[in-house]
Structure formats: structure tokens, C-alpha cells
Structure 1
Amino acid sequence: MERARIDGIDLAYELRGGGAPVVMIHGAQGDKTMFASLASAFADNYRVLTFDQRGSGLSDKPDVPYSIAMLADDTAGLMDHLGISPAHVVGVSMGGMIAQELALRHPQKIRSLVLGCTTAGGPRAVRLGGGALASAYSTQSMTAEERGKALAEAGFSKSYLAQHPEIITSMIEARRQRPIDSRAFARRMKAAAEHDAYDRLPQIHCPTLVIAGRDDALIAWENSRIIAERIKGAQLVVLEPAGHCFWLEQPEQTLDAIASFLASVP
């Protein structure tokens, strides 16, 4: 792991592989480790950057207001620091919101976009009922057991979790090893809640793949359809069965879809 000073804060990152650059942007309470298997697979043919965003993982967690634009600018600054633009940018969940904003604010840094299990936000977003989002993404202080179990039950389809109950244990252990800073997490969730790129999405002109799991209990897959309709020429892939963590439930299909898309980009 390396560290870089970007806009006054330290960001922890890892750069591996060789070839055209690929930047992977994690979700709200994730960190760079959530891309462990995907990054390793792409490092065979690409130079892959994974990093902990402001407020996450081993990066600094200033207790100040955050915005999706701020997190996009952090990403752009890190790309400049490492000299890896333009790049293919892969963002999932909140990372997909950051990727949208990155493409809108820094289009010259984007070779292509992969937007996974995310939303354009705003009043036209498709909201899901139930308590999955509230429990898994609570900004209140929670034990590793509580947060890990809630996220596992919300992030994976019921059928997958029934076949792989060890996921719950794994998620709990991940929270023990990498606890969530509740104040920084609250800042990040407020930034995500204020995200609205719907009206600006037609301004994105780079090749775009939008991908989601049909059984997503956190961000309805229909939001991916909306994004694909708003970005000219965007491709839409909906995996099933698969929940929010589609790349873990359907690793081969995810790898094939993204690899084929990247290979098609001039």
C-alpha cells in the first residue's frame, strides 16, 4: 500500500499490473479491498488503481462536509498524481455516483465508464421500500457483528446467502479488521443522499457500460436502466440472480461483461 497527499489529505492506494489504466471506485462503506478479486483479474492486462476514498479505510477522515463532487475531485487529483489518465473508470454503488461526477467534471480523464449498481439520484430515482438500506447503512455506531450481518443480508440475494452463509462471518470479520468511522460515514452518506446527476447525464459522451443485479435490495436495478437511457450509446447488463454485490455473486459473468466492454473501447 502507498499513500499520496491530495488536496490536503492522505489517500491510501494500490497500483498493480501494466497496460491501459483502470481506476476502481468503491462504495459508501467499502474500501479498496472490496475489489480484491476483480482488481487481481484485470491486473493481468491493465494497470489497476484501487484506493480508499476520503473518510474510508486507511485514508484520512476529516470531519467536514463531503460532497460527491469533492470525492470526484479527490479521484481526479490522485489520477494526476499517478499520471494515469485518461483511464477506464469502474465505480460501484456510491462509487458509481462518484464516477458519474468524475466524467462530468473531468471528462478528459475518462476513457470509458463502468457504472455498477448505482443511481443518478434526485427525485426521479427509483426508491426501494423496506428496512434493508436503513439497517445496512445506518450512520449510528454499530458493532462489527451488527454491521457485518446487516450488510451481508442486504448486499446479497437471499438465494446466494442461503447457499453461502459463510458470507456473514466474512463480512463481520471485515468490519472487525476495518471498522467504520461513524462520523466520516455519516458525512459520506449525506453526500450520497444529495447526489443528483439525472439532468446532466446526457453530457457524458464516453463509452459506458451500466451493470446491476436484478435482485438488488439496496439500489433498485431500474436505476441502471434510467442511467443507460440517459447516456447516449450506453450498454446495459442486468445479472440474475444477483444482489447489490453482483461482482461477488456472479464473478465470471461480471468479468466477462466488463472485459468485453473494455476490449471494445478504442
Structure 2
Amino acid sequence: MPFVLSLRGCRLRYADSGGDGVPVVFSHGAGADHVMFGAQREYLRARGCRVVTWDMRGHGLSRPAGVPFTAEQAIADLCALIEHLALDRPVLVGQSLGGNLSQAVVRRRPDLARALIVIDATRNTAPLSWKERLLVKAAAPMLSTIPAKRLPRLMAEASAITPDAQADARRAFGQLSKEEFVQVWRATVEFLSPDPGYRTPVPLCLIRGEQDRTGNIASAMPSWAEAEGIEEVVIPDAGHIANQDNPQAVNEAIDAFLRVIPASKQARR
């Protein structure tokens, strides 16, 4: 990743394939990095898209974080990257935390994106049951009790089902200390802001691994799709990191969506 954008004490590393095709910006999950989108990057670049991947602060090559990782800082970083590259209303693609982040950017700045693709992430604005609220509050304290040496393996096995995807997840998770990972998880929770009446103002694609058992995604994403009046794409032979467990199926889903989004760059009304 040869390019650097310096923001608030962090040298954010990113890669940009360039060109004048439809810009697509990929944002990774908590504890992961740009490597997780290798298959999507090559696939879409070969189809003429301008593909941008990046490492959020404190992740991958964007270390040290400079300032604590928060939802607000992540939103500011992604908006700054888009503006730095002068991207013309890119398609935002986010996996897990990256999906929560991309949702938040579209909600705050609907003028900034032409479409949104969410992979294995819950809906930021969904109403939460008392059980879900309890689990959200308990997650960070529970993570804090796991020995640091065991955390990368446990998180990898919970996230992916194929050996290659699990191996890369262990590599990525191993780059963060337990304290850093817990801080990132707390920031993920910050994105949740129930607003049942909210509808995504740009074309939306929802992708979920058939075997994703993370949080409430297996139940929340179908409900989200129904509320938005769209069909979710369920990826077979895939867990929480569907784009690495079954990259071909995810690539085809993204390609199919990009082919039908309106040619106009105006937000959906």
C-alpha cells in the first residue's frame, strides 16, 4: 500500500488502483485490514472499477493509531480519504465494522456516496430488544476476560470457516493488542443508533454469510432487507467473513449489484 494520508497523528495507508471507472471504497472489519479484500480488489479492477482499499487507524499498516479509535474518528477518516482522493460519489463497501462505518457515512453524508454494500454487519438504526442491548453492553467486558494470546485464534475461528480465511484473520487480529481490540469493539457499538423509520437514501446491497453467527446479524439482516424492500444475498459456505470464505460468490454479488445501480449519481429519494 504505497500511499499515505496523515490525519491526527496517524499515517493512514491506502491503495488506489486509479482510472476513471466507478470508484469503489472498501472498509474492513474490526481487527482486520486491507488484505481481506484482495480477491474483490483484483476482480473489480479487472472490470474497470477504480478500487480503493485502506487500513483504518490502529489496524494493519496504519499504526500507531495516534488517537483513540472512536466511531467519530473513523467517520472523519473515511470522509477525509474520499475527499483527499476527490472520488466522485464512490460506492462504499464495508464488512462488519466497515459496514457499520459505511452506513454511518451514508447517513451523515448521503451526498458523498452513490451506493452502499454491507457485508456481514448489523443495521445501525435497527431497534434493539432488551436481550440485544444486554449483549451489546456485555460484549466488551467479556472480550476483556479472554487471555491475549488466545484472542486472535478464538476471533478467527468465530469469524471464518475456511482454513485460508481463518489463517488470515489470525494474522490480522494478531497485530492489535487486546486493549486495542476492545477499544475498537467499543467504537463499533457507538455506531448503533436506533431509528426504525430511517431508510438508506442510496441503492443498497446486503450480503451475509449463510453460517454467520456473529451477534444478531443472522436475524437483523433479513429484517433490514425487508424494511428496505430489497432481497439480501446469502452466501453459501461462508461465515462472518463471507468475502474471504467464498470470494467468488461475493464478487459475483457485488458485480451484479454494480450493474443495476442507476447510472445517475443522484441519491435515492
- Provide TM-score, normalisation by structure 1: 0.82
The counterpart of 2:232, out of the listed 217, 236, 241, is 236
Shift of residue 63, structure 1, vs aligned partner: 4.4
| 1:226 paired residue number | 223
Q: Which deviations, in whole Å up to 9, do the C-alpha atoms of 1:125-150 show, x marking residues without a partner? A: 785x99xx969x9356623xx34421
Q: Deviations over 1:212-234 (max 9, x none)?
A: 01211224322212322343x44
Residues 1:41 and 2:35 aligned together: no
**Aligned equivalents of 1:92 and 1:201: distance in 2?**
23
Match of 1:100 in 2: 103
- The offset of 1:72, in angstroms, is 1.7
Which of 176, 179, 197 does residue 180 from structure 1 map onto? 176
Counterpart AA for 1:236: E
Question: Distance between the aligned counterparts of 1:199 and 1:86, measured in 2?
Answer: 25
Identical positions, percent: 27
- Pick which of 5-14 and 44-53 moved more: 5-14
Q: Deviations over 1:95-152 (max 9, x none)?
A: 100011010111111110001100125652785x99xx969x9356623xx3442133
CA distance in 1, matches of 2:247, 2:49: 18
State whether residues 4 and 13 of structure 2, in contact with CA within 8 Å, keep that contact through their aligned partners in structure 1. Answer: yes
Stretches of structure 2 lacking an aligned partner (at least 5 in a row): 264-269
Letter in 2 for 1:4: L
1:251 to 224, 228, 247: 247
8 Å Cα contact 1:69/1:102 also seen in 2: no
**Aligned: 1:138 with 2:134:** no
Q: Which residue of 2 aligns with 1:149?
A: 153
1:215 matched to 2:211? The reply is: yes
Distance 1:52 1:173 in 2: 14
Matched residue of 1:12: which SS? strand
For the 8 Å contact 1:17–1:43, the answer to whether it is kept is no
Question: What does the per-residue CA deviation read over 1:39-93, in whole Å, with 9 as the maximum and x for residues that have no partner?
Answer: 11111221111111122122141343x4323312210111100111300010010
Contact 2:32–2:173, Cα closer than 8 Å, also in 1? no
Residue 10 of structure 1 aligns with which residue? 11
Q: Which amino acid aligns with 2:103?
A: Q
For 1:92-131, list aligned pairs within 5 A.
Answer: 92-121=95-124, 124=128
Q: AA paired with 1:153?
A: E
Unaligned runs of 5+ in 1: none
Match for residue 70 of structure 2 among 42, 67, 71: 67
Q: What is the deviation of 1:185?
A: 2.3
- 1:25 is matched with which residue? 27
Alpha-carbon contact 1:100-1:197 (below 8 Å) kept: no
- Give the Å deviation of 1:169: 4.6
| Cα separation, 2, equivalents of 1:95 and 1:171 | 15
SS at match of 1:180: coil
Number of residue-to-residue matches in the alignment: 251
Structure 2 CA distance for partners of 1:202 and 1:173, relative to 1, 3 Å? closer
Q: CA RMSD in A?
A: 2.9
Cα deviation code 1:161-183 (max 9, x no counterpart): 4xx4x65555444556xx11333
Aligned to 1:83: 86
1:169-206: CA deviations, max 9, x gaps? 55444556xx1133332221111123224416724210
Cα deviations by residue, 1:1-58 (Å, 9 ceiling, x for unpaired): 2111235532111111531100001001111111111111111221111111122122
TM-score calculated relative to the size of structure 2: 0.81
